[in-house]
Amino acid sequence: MTNKTDLKVCVVTGGSLGIGAAICESFSQHEYQVINLDIQNVSKGSKNIEYVNCDITDSAAVTNAISNITEKYGRLDVLVSNAGVHFSGTIEQTSDEDFKRVFDINVNAAITVTKAVLPQMKAQGAGVILYIASDQALIAKPNSFAYNLTKAALASMAKTTAIDYASFNIRANAICPGTIETPLYHHAIDNYVARSGADKQQVHAEEAALQPLGRLGQPEEVAALAYFLASEQAGFITGSLQVIDGGYTTQ
C-alpha cells in the first residue's frame, strides 16, 4: 500500500548504533522520513525513523526492502551506506573466511543497496548516495589489511558512481571519518586490550592524543557532515572524499 509523503526519504544501512544512529537522528530532525536497515533495533524510536529488519549481506532481502520502501513512499532521495564491521590483522593473519565476512558486509552490501536504489533515483532525476568510508581510504594503518582494503573500495565506488550517474542528477560522495567514538571503536579497543593486556583508559587517552585536535570525533559530527552533503548547499559536490578526522591524515 502506498503511503506517499511530502518528506524526503533517506535510507541508512546499519543505522542502529554509532555513526548510523546519529545519521538517522539528524535526518529525522531535519524532516526526513528515515528508514534504518539493520539486523538489530536499538534506536530511540524518534519520529520519522522506521526500522526494517534486514540482513544487508542478503542481496534478495536488500532488494526487496528497497522495493517496499519505494512502493510505500513513492520516492527515495538519499542513501547512506553506513553498515560496516572492523577486523584487525595483517594479510597473513586474515583467514579466507574473515576476509569474506568483512568484504561482504563492508563492500558487497554497499554494491547491492546502491544497485537497488538507482532505478528510483534515475526515474525521479535526483538522488544522493553517501558511503561511510574511513581515513583508511586515504592512508594505511597497521594490522588492518581487510578493513583498509574495503574502505578504499568504498572511496572508489563513490568516484565511479558519481561519474556514471551525474547525467541523472545523482551525486555520490564518500565520508572518511578518522577515529570516532562509537561502539565499533570501543569494540576494537576492547579486542586490543584483551590481546595485549594494556589498560583501556590509557589506550583511549593515547588514541585521543594522536589526533591534532587532541580528542576523538563524535558520531553527531559525522552526521552533520552527512546531512550537509545531502543538502542543496552541497549540490556541486560529487565524487569527493570528505575527510573528518581532526587533522590526523594531514600529519
| CB atoms near residue 237 (< 10 Å) | 15
Is 94 strand, coil or helix?
coil
Rounded distance between C-alpha atoms, residue 146 and residue 105, angstroms: 11
CA nearest to 239, candidates 83, 77, 103, 131: 131
Rounded distance between C-alpha atoms, residue 175 and residue 58, angstroms: 24
Residue whose grid cell is 520519522: 48
Q: Which three cell numbers stand for residue 125?
A: 532525476
Q: CA distances (Å), 87 to each of 98, 103, 192, in order?
A: 8, 10, 11
Distance of CA 31 to the CA centre of its chain: 20
Cβ–Cβ < 8 Å for 95, 103? no
Whether 147 is a known active-site residue: answer yes
Catalytic residue among 147, 165, 227, 248: 147
Catalytic residue IDs: 147
